[in-house]
Structure 1
Amino acid sequence: MSDTKLPRKQVSGYILGMIPLTIILGVFRLAYLKFFFDSLGLSVFWTIIGLVIFMFINMTNDPIIGQKQDNTNVEKRGSRRIFYIKYFSPFL
């Protein structure tokens, strides 16, 4: 990685590109919590417990899945990501 700084215009472009994503994620998170509280009737305590359990599972499996994808034989499969998206997305 180089130590040169990016121009201010390029950094501003990256920041402006993140604004729509941040807005969409914020709306989704509010709807997600509203679903747990209003539709399912869960208390705040159980919602937080569920989210913490999810965070620990995600914290454990993300590096394992990333390592598996990075070690994929690109010449044999054609692409790292497409192979996993094509064959494992039905399980999601």
Structure 2
Amino acid sequence: MVTVEEIEHVSKLMKIDVDDHSEYLEKVQTMISYFDILDSAGVESEEISMPEIPIEQLRNDEYIPFDEKLIEKMNHYKGTYVRAPKM
């Protein structure tokens, strides 16, 4: 299963400050156990049917010019960067 060291390693890769890595150990193991349940569902024999659509029925791509500067329409931007909410 997942170890505290692996959670610490992933948090460093994602540049996320986590104070107590062991707090997330049970949560990650629970998520992985859900994936194990999904993997064992045995849906390999199920066939997904999708209607075939000829290429002629798809819409044509069109270029629509946009004369305004999109960055100026943003509410939260600084220079050329858009500020996202803190998580």
- The TM-score range, normalised by the shorter chain, is 0.3 to 0.5
Structure with higher Rg: it is 2
Q: TM-score, normalised by structure 1?
A: 0.33
- Give the structure with the larger strand fraction: 2
- Give the structure with the larger helix fraction: 1
Report which structure shows greater RCO (CA 8 Å, sep ≥6): 2
Q: TM-score, normalised by structure 2?
A: 0.34
